[in-house]
Amino acid sequence: MTSNFKRFIASALALILIVNIISFSAVTLSFAKKKKVNEVTEEYLQTEVKAPSTYSDSVVLMDAKTGEVLYSKNGKKKVHPASTTKVMTALVALENNDLEDTITYTADEVLGLEENSSSVALDIGETITVEQSLYAAMLESANECCNGLADKTAGSIKGFADMMNKRAEELGCVKTHFVNANGLYNKDHYTCAYDLALITRAAMAIDEFKKITGTKVYEVPPTNKQKETRYWRNHHNFINNDLPYDSEIFTVLGGKTGYTVQSSYSLVTFAKSNTTDLELICVTMHCDAYGNYNGKGFNRTFTDANAMFKYGFNNFTSISANINTESDLEEDDLNAVTKTYSLLQDKRFISFSATDDCEVVVSNDFDVNQLKGTFLYDSEGAGGTQGKWGSYEFRSGSNVIASTDVFYELNEPVIKKLYHKRVEPNKQEKVNHLLIVIGAAVVICAALYVIIMLCVKYKLLSILVKGKDIFDISKKTSVTFKPKRKRMKKMKAPDLGYLTPKKKRFHRKNNKNKLRF
C-alpha cells in the first residue's frame, strides 16, 4: 500500500513536470513566433487586422513612393538573393547605357556559366542590343546576358559588381554585398529583403524597368547568328497568368523571380491599387514550401506575395500633407519664418513651392488628425529673390515620417530687409567719400571763378543787358577796348557864333563868364 502510494505520487509529479515543460516550451515558441511576426512598431502603421502568416523566411512590404515599411519579418536578415540580384543589374545597366547600344557576346560570357543555369542560348559572337539583353535577363533570367551587360557597362564583372555595391550604399542598403551580376551562389554574395525592396523602389523610378519587367512575352527578331524569330517569356507567374491573384483589389505591374539550391526561392513583386494611387513592393525570400494549382506545382513565394498585397491595400492609405504656409507656422518671435511670413503675407510678395506632395502612408485605423506638419527654416539656403526656404516635415509624435524641401520666390526686391544686414562703411571708405566731395567742390568753384572773370573782362553782362552782340564780325574782325581821346566839339557862343579852338583860347581869357562848354 505504501509502495503503491509512493509510485502514484512519483508518477503524478513526473506527469506534472512533463506538462509544465510542454507548456513552457509552447509559451516560449509562441513568444518567439510572435516576436518574429511584424517588426514594424510605428504607431501610425498599426492595424487592428492581423498580418497574414507567411511561408517565406524573410518578408518586407514597402510603399513604393515613400519607402515606408508597412510589414517586416526578418527584413534585415542576410539572405542569398539568387536571380533577384538582376533587379540591381538592370538598375545599374539602365542608368549607364543607351538601350540601342549593342553587345557582341564572347565565349567567356556565353560559356562561363554553371551547368543547367538559366540561359537563352546565345551563340558566341551573336550581337543584340542592350534593351534585348535586359529583356533576356529579366524575363528568362538569362545569366549570359547579365555577364554581357556587366562587361558592356564596367569592362568586367568585378568592376560591375563594384558599381552595384556603390549604388546599394547610395540607396541606404544595410546588409548587401554583390560579387556577380546574375546572382549565382557565392557565400560573399548576399542581401536582405529590406535592401532588395529599396533597390526595387529605385528601379521603379525608371519607366523602362517597369515596362520590361511587366512584359509577358518579348519577340526577338533574327540576329547575325539566329535566322528565326525567338520569343522570351516572363517567369513571373502573376504576370504570365500561370497563377491567379486578387486582381479585383490590385494589379501586378512587374517583378523578378529567383532560385538556387542554396538560397531556395525568392520573389520581388510590385503592384498598384485598383482604387487609389497606392503602389506597394513585396519581397519574399528563402521559401521552401510548394503548392499546387491546376495540377502544376509552384513555390509559395507567390502565395505570400498575394496575401501581403491584399493586407497592404486593404489596411493602408496614402495621404498628402497639406502644406499651409499660414496655419502651420508656429507663433514664435524667434522664428524667422513667422517674422518673414507676417511681413509679406499682406503684400503678397512671396510664393512657396514644395519638391513633392510629401505623401504619407498610414493605417486605416490611425487618426490622421494626430499628424502634424512643421516648417524647418534653412538660414543658409535663404537669400536672393528665390531659393530654398527650408523643409516641411510630417510628424507623428517625435517621428518624422515624411519630408520635402520648400522653396520661395519673391515678387518684389524686399529680400534685403529680410536676410541682409546694413553694412556700415569703414574709415577708409569715409575718407575716400570726403576726398571726392572736396574735389568736386574745388572743381565747381574753379569753374565759377573762370566764368566770373570772363564776364568781367569782356563785360558780357552789360552787353547782354543792352542787347549788343559782341560776336557780330560782319563789321569788325576784332574788338578792342582802348580808351580814345575826346575831341572838342564845336561850341556855340551866345553872341560870337562858332568858335574855333584857336579863337576859343583867345576868348577864354576875356570872356570867361560868357563861354560855357
Domain boundaries, the chain: 58-317, 321-419, 486-517
Instruction: Just give the CATH number of 58-317.
Output: 3.40.710.10
Q: How far apart are CA 462 and CA 459, in angstroms?
A: 6
DSSP bridge pairs for 462: none
Residues 6+ apart with CB under 8 A from 249: 273, 274, 309, 310, 313, 314
CA dihedral 67, 72, 75, 80 (to 10 degrees): -100
Q: How far apart are CA 32 and CA 73, in angstroms?
A: 12
In terms of C-beta density within 10 A (0-12 exposed, 13-18 middle, 19 or more buried), how is residue 350 classed?
buried
Q: How far apart are CA 39 and CA 71, in angstroms?
A: 7
From first to last of its 517 residues, the chain has per-residue pLDDT tens of 456 655 556 565 555 656 555 554 544 444 344 344 678 878 888 888 999 999 999 999 999 988 999 999 999 999 999 999 999 999 999 999 999 999 999 999 999 888 888 999 999 999 999 999 999 999 999 999 999 999 999 999 999 999 999 999 999 999 999 999 999 999 999 999 999 999 999 999 999 999 999 999 999 999 999 999 999 999 999 999 999 999 999 999 999 999 999 999 999 999 999 999 899 999 999 999 999 888 888 999 999 999 999 999 999 998 875 554 444 444 443 344 444 444 444 444 566 666 666 778 888 888 877 776 677 777 665 566 677 777 777 776 666 777 777 777 765 554 455 555 555 566 677 777 788 888 888 889 888 888 888 777 776 666 555 555 444 444 444 445 555 555 555 555 454 555 666 666 666 666 555 444 4
pTM score, whole prediction: 0.68
CB 86 within 8 A of CB 138: yes
Q: How far apart are CA 176 and CA 99, in angstroms?
A: 27
Backbone angles phi, psi at 359, to 5 degrees: -75, 150
In terms of C-beta density within 10 A (0-12 exposed, 13-18 middle, 19 or more buried), how is residue 413 classed?
exposed
